[in-house]
């Protein structure tokens, strides 16, 4: 019976030396006994190396008889033992524990090969293959002759091969447990063949790496030589790093092949130019611009229509037509992502949210946002950029905006399209024709970049206050969406939902410190602002917040509730007074409706006659068209005087037609009907009906022609207290744009002739 030494970290082959780490008590006690009384041990290899308790471990039915050559005590109480394997031993029973040590019955294993001829042939082949493997690892022929000392003993050679190859614990243990010598040789030959294959792959990879390193080393040496030559010639070598950086950025970008080829060519030029030269700076700036352009960088569009609608509704109140159009655009994009969308253009008075609507569209789409202000731009190079030959040349503002957005498919707002001018430096509006044409802007050519830039994925949105100043060719490329002014109710809603929360936050106030109810907002809108948008309203509300902030800081009050009665104290006396329609209290006064860039207005027309030579005087800063309307009104009235019982002598006076607010220029044909009504009123002595207003163009034949701005004019009339509006019959369809709640309290009368106008608008003769 032998003492047993369990091991789990190494596999000991006969004829080999190995160092084993002995931790458990039974193993330590076995080594101690051998140290007192030297005797052979049986090395038992655990089948599951992870088992910590040797008593519960599983062992194969084959071990290795060995002897202990040296023992080293470790600080943690374990031992490191140098073992020499002697021969395989077959276990004749299971290991047992006696006197605190593990013991086992075993006898040496002597198995002869069944086929000696094959055994010798396999042994020779193994010897040759193992020799090739060892030489491949860097061992010389003479060293291998010493190390491979078991070549004359085939069984020991197999053990040596399995012990020296890079195998796992389980693979080595499998080779140790093979009893048949021929099978063990064949197994060792298979493992050597695998190792030779791995060695060949590693050698091939290493050769490729070495070739690459040799090439890189040669390039490095040539570059160093080039630097030395340039240094001798007085040329700077610092440009190499910049050139390398540009080259790397060009290769990393997704720019088209044409652009990449031209850019790399310019990088080559940069390497040959002295860094102190002016051309070097120009070329470096150009390369920076080209590399900064977001070639092929696209953000993913959202296709969630409910989410997009929520964003639009959350950012803007009203504007239903605009939101509907944007959602239609998103729906088409979802069905056909490659579709070329239209160029939307929002036209409306200042302050109605045209620019901020563009930002909301970008948020709804999930795209980046850029803004390009065109107001006052007169130089075409602002759009297309300057050529590189000019000092201080740079890319156009369009390309610079694209760079700032960081993507190739942003939403870019072209602000104030109607403010673009032109002079001897070119026509910027004409430069925009290519930008806004989906059939051309896939290869937009900036003069500075001088390479095609793809703008076909950009969603351009234009804004303008008026349509007429936009050139016809440019307007043809736009889908015009008109944004009318806000009603009083809409302004109050916008102030309550958007303006007040933002103003409280920006002024550092809380809801408890300042309270403004809707009645107060209504009063501010009526008495302190007169605009189509809400900018001036925001300024007035900002003034209220500043007043309250001062009171809070000076400890005058912890909180302030702003009521309509306090507005006079905080904002001063009302700026605007209600335009009561009751001002029509005598003949010769009529109320008209006018459209302005900031919304609708009511217009008072005053006519009088006085003794003097037959003539007509026009005052009130009237334009040519409005003067002609007055003359047409007088001509029609004189022509049809008999039908109204007017004697010809009634016109033998000096007539004076005046439009109040004379400092404000006024023009347009839509005041024709109200002018003829005012003149008819003063001639016949019949007063204009109270709370009535009218609009329409007239002809000499007495026809009433359609006009524009019906919604804005109707809102102005409602605000002024008008109850009845006279409109051309052809404008009936325009009322569809006015919400039913905004038409409440208004009665519309439709006319085709001036006769109908006078019969409706003038009171009967008293």
pLDDT at site 697: 93
**How would residue 341 be classed by pLDDT, with cut points 50, 70 and 90?**
low
pLDDT > 90? residue 705: yes
pLDDT at site 458: 87
Please state, in angstroms and rounded to a whole number, the distance separating the CA atoms of residues 436 and 419.
Answer: 17
Report CA-CA distances (Å) from 97 to 27, 31, 94, 101: 11, 15, 10, 5
Say whether 71 sits in a helix, a strand or coil: strand
Average pLDDT value for residue range 161-179? 86
pLDDT higher for 233 or 653?
653
Sheet holding 747-751, edge to edge: 615-619, 654-658, 599-610, 589-596, 692-694, 724-728, 747-751
Q: Of 678, 699, 704, give the one whose Cα is nearest residue 761.
A: 678
Note the pLDDT tens digit of each residue in 257-287.
898 999 999 888 888 777 777 888 888 888 9
707, burial (CB in 10 Å: exposed 0-12, middle 13-18, buried 19+): buried
pLDDT > 50? residue 242: yes
pTM above 0.75, yes or no: no
pLDDT > 80? residue 303: no
Please state, in angstroms and rounded to a whole number, the distance separating the CA atoms of residues 171 and 24.
Answer: 24
Average pLDDT value for residue range 225-229? 69
Q: How far apart are the first and last CA of the chain?
A: 146
Average pLDDT value for residue range 511-538? 87
Mean pLDDT of the chain: 84
Please state, in angstroms and rounded to a whole number, the distance separating the CA atoms of residues 480 and 477.
Answer: 9
pLDDT at site 578: 61
Q: Of 454, 457, 442, give the one whose Cα is nearest residue 333.
A: 457
Q: Is 172:164 a contact under the CB 8 Å cutoff?
A: no
Please state, in angstroms and rounded to a whole number, the distance separating the CA atoms of residues 614 and 109.
Answer: 147
pLDDT > 70? residue 141: no
DSSP string, 40-55: -EEEEE-SSTT---TT
Please state, in angstroms and rounded to a whole number, the distance separating the CA atoms of residues 723 and 686.
Answer: 20
Please state, in angstroms and rounded to a whole number, the distance separating the CA atoms of residues 344 and 613.
Answer: 56
pLDDT > 80? residue 74: yes
pLDDT higher for 576 or 499?
499
Instruction: Classify the phi-psi angles of 299: left when phi > 0, otherwise alpha if psi is within -120 to 50, otherwise beta.
Output: beta
pLDDT > 60? residue 358: yes
pLDDT at site 599: 67
Instruction: Classify the phi-psi angles of 555: left when phi > 0, otherwise alpha if psi is within -120 to 50, otherwise beta.
Output: left
pLDDT higher for 305 or 581?
305
Stated length of the chain: 766
pLDDT > 90? residue 168: no
pLDDT at site 166: 84
Q: Is 433:426 a contact under the CB 8 Å cutoff?
A: no
Provide φ and ψ at 135, rounded to 5°.
-65, -40
pLDDT higher for 365 or 404?
404
pLDDT > 80? residue 577: no
Average pLDDT value for residue range 502-510? 91
Which domains can be identified in the chain, with CATH numbers? 2-108 (2.30.130.40), 239-292 (no CATH), 305-482 (3.40.50.300), 488-571 (1.10.8.60), 581-761 (3.30.230.10)
Between 292-306, 532-546, 672-686, the lowest mean confidence (pLDDT) is in: 292-306
pLDDT at site 66: 92
pLDDT at site 420: 83
Q: 486 is written with which tokens?
A: 């806000």
For the chain, percent of residues with pLDDT exceeding 90: 14
pLDDT higher for 661 or 551?
551
pLDDT higher for 719 or 250?
250
pLDDT higher for 301 or 574?
574
**How would residue 594 be classed by pLDDT, with cut points 50, 70 and 90?**
confident
pLDDT > 80? residue 342: no
pLDDT > 50? residue 683: yes
pLDDT > 70? residue 198: yes
Which value, to the nearest 10 degrees, does the dihedral of the CA atoms of residues 78, 83, 87, 89 take? -10
**How would residue 656 be classed by pLDDT, with cut points 50, 70 and 90?**
very high
**Catalytic annotation, residues:** 670, 713
pLDDT at site 137: 77
**How would residue 583 be classed by pLDDT, with cut points 50, 70 and 90?**
low
Say whether 333 sits in a helix, a strand or coil: helix
Say whether 564 sits in a helix, a strand or coil: helix
For the chain, percent of residues with pLDDT exceeding 70: 93
Q: Which residues contact 202 (CB under 8 A, 6 or more apart)?
A: none
How many other C-beta atoms are found inside a 10 Å radius of the C-beta of residue 283? 19
**How would residue 597 be classed by pLDDT, with cut points 50, 70 and 90?**
low
pLDDT at site 185: 87
pLDDT higher for 336 or 86?
86
Average pLDDT value for residue range 736-751? 83
**How would residue 703 be classed by pLDDT, with cut points 50, 70 and 90?**
very high
Average pLDDT value for residue range 715-724? 83
How many other C-beta atoms are found inside a 10 Å radius of the C-beta of residue 727? 25
Average pLDDT value for residue range 231-258? 77
Average pLDDT value for residue range 90-106? 85
Element containing residue 81 per DSSP (H, E): strand 79-91
Note the pLDDT tens digit of each residue in 14-63.
988 999 988 878 888 888 888 888 889 899 888 887 777 777 788 888 99
């Amino acid at each position: 019976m032998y003492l047993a030494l369990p091991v789990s970290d190494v596999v000991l082959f006969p004829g080999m030396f190995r160092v084993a780490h002995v931790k458990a008590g039974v193993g330590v006690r076995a080594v101690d006994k051998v140290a007192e009384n030297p005797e052979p041990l049986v090395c038992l290899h655990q089948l599951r190396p992870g088992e910590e308790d040797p008593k519960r471990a599983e062992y194969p039915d084959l071990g290795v008889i060995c002897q202990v050559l040296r023992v080293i005590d470790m600080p943690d109480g374990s031992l490191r033992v140098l073992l020499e394997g002697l021969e395989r031993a077959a276990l004749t029973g299971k290991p047992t524990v006696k006197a605190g040590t593990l013991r086992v019955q075993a006898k040496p294993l002597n198995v002869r090969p069944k086929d000696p001829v094959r055994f010798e042939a396999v042994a020779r082949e193994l010897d040759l293959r193992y020799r090739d493997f060892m030489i491949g690892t860097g061992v010389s022929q003479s060293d291998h002759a010493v190390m491979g000392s078991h070549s004359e003993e085939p069984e020991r050679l197999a053990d040596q091969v399995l012990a020296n190859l890079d195998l796992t614990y389980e693979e080595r243990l499998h080779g140790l447990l093979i009893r048949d010598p021929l099978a063990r040789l064949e197994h060792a030959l298979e493992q050597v063949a695998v190792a030779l294959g791995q060695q060949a792959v590693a050698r091939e990879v290493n050769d490729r790496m070495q070739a690459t390193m040799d090439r890189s080393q040669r390039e490095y040496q040539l570059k160093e030589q080039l630097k030395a030559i340039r240094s001798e010639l007085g040329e700077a070598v610092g440009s190499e790093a910049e050139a390398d950086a540009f080259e790397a950025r060009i290769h990393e970008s997704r720019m088209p092949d044409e652009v990449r080829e031209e850019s790399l060519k310019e990088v080559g030029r940069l390497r040959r130019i002295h860094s102190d030269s002016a051309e070097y700076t120009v070329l470096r700036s150009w390369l920076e611009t080209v590399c900064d352009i977001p070639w092929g960088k696209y953000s993913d569009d959202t296709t969630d229509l409910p989410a997009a609608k929520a964003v639009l509704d959350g950012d803007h109140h009203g504007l239903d037509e605009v939101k509907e159009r944007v959602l239609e655009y998103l729906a088409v994009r979802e069905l056909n992502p490659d579709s070329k969308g239209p160029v939307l253009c929002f036209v409306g008075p200042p302050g109605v949210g045209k620019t901020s609507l563009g930002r909301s569209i970008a948020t709804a789409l999930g795209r980046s946002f850029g803004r390009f202000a065109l107001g006052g731009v007169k130089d075409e190079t602002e759009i297309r950029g300057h050529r590189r030959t000019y000092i201080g040349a740079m890319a156009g503002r369009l390309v610079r905006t694209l760079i700032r957005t960081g993507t190739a498919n942003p939403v870019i707002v072209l602000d104030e399209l109607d403010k673009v001018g032109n002079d001897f430096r070119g026509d910027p509006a004409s430069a925009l024709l290519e930008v806004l044409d989906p059939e051309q802007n896939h290869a937009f050519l900036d003069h500075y970049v001088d390479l095609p830039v793809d703008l076909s994925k950009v969603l351009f949105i234009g804004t303008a206050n008026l349509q007429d100043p936009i050139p016809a060719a440019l307007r043809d490329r736009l889908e015009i969406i008109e944004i009318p002014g806000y009603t009083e109710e809409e302004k109050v809603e916008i102030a309550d939902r958007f303006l007040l929360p933002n103003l409280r936050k920006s002024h550092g106030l809380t809801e408890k410190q300042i309270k403004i109810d809707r009645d107060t907002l209504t009063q501010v809108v009526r008495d302190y602002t007169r605009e189509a948008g809400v900018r001036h309203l925001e300024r007035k509300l900002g003034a209220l917040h500043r007043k309250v902030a001062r009171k809070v800081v000076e400890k005058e009050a912890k909180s302030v509730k702003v009521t309509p009665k306090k507005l006079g104290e905080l904002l001063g006396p009302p700026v605007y007074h209600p335009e009561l329609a009751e001002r029509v209290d005598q003949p010769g006064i009529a109320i008209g409706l006018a459209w302005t860039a900031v919304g609708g207005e009511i217009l008072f027309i005053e006519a009088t006659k006085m003794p003097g030579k037959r003539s007509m005087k026009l005052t009130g800063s009237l334009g040519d068209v409005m003067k002609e309307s007055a003359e047409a009104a007088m001509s029609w009235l004189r022509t049809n005087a008999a039908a109204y019982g007017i004697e010809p002598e009634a016109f033998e006076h000096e007539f004076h037609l005046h439009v109040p607010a004379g400092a404000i220029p006024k023009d347009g044909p839509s005041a024709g009907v109200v002018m003829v009504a005012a003149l008819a009123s003063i001639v016949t002595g019949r007063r204009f009906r109270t709370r009535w207003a009218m609009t329409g163009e007239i002809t000499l034949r007495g026809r009433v022609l359609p006009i524009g701005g019906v919604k804005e004019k109707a809102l102005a009339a409602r605000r002024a207290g008008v109850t009845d509006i006279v409109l051309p019959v052809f404008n009936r369809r325009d009322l569809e744009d006015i919400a039913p709640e905004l038409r409440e309290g208004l009665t519309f009368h439709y006319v085709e002739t001036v006769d109908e106008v006078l019969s409706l608008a003038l009171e009967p003769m008293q």
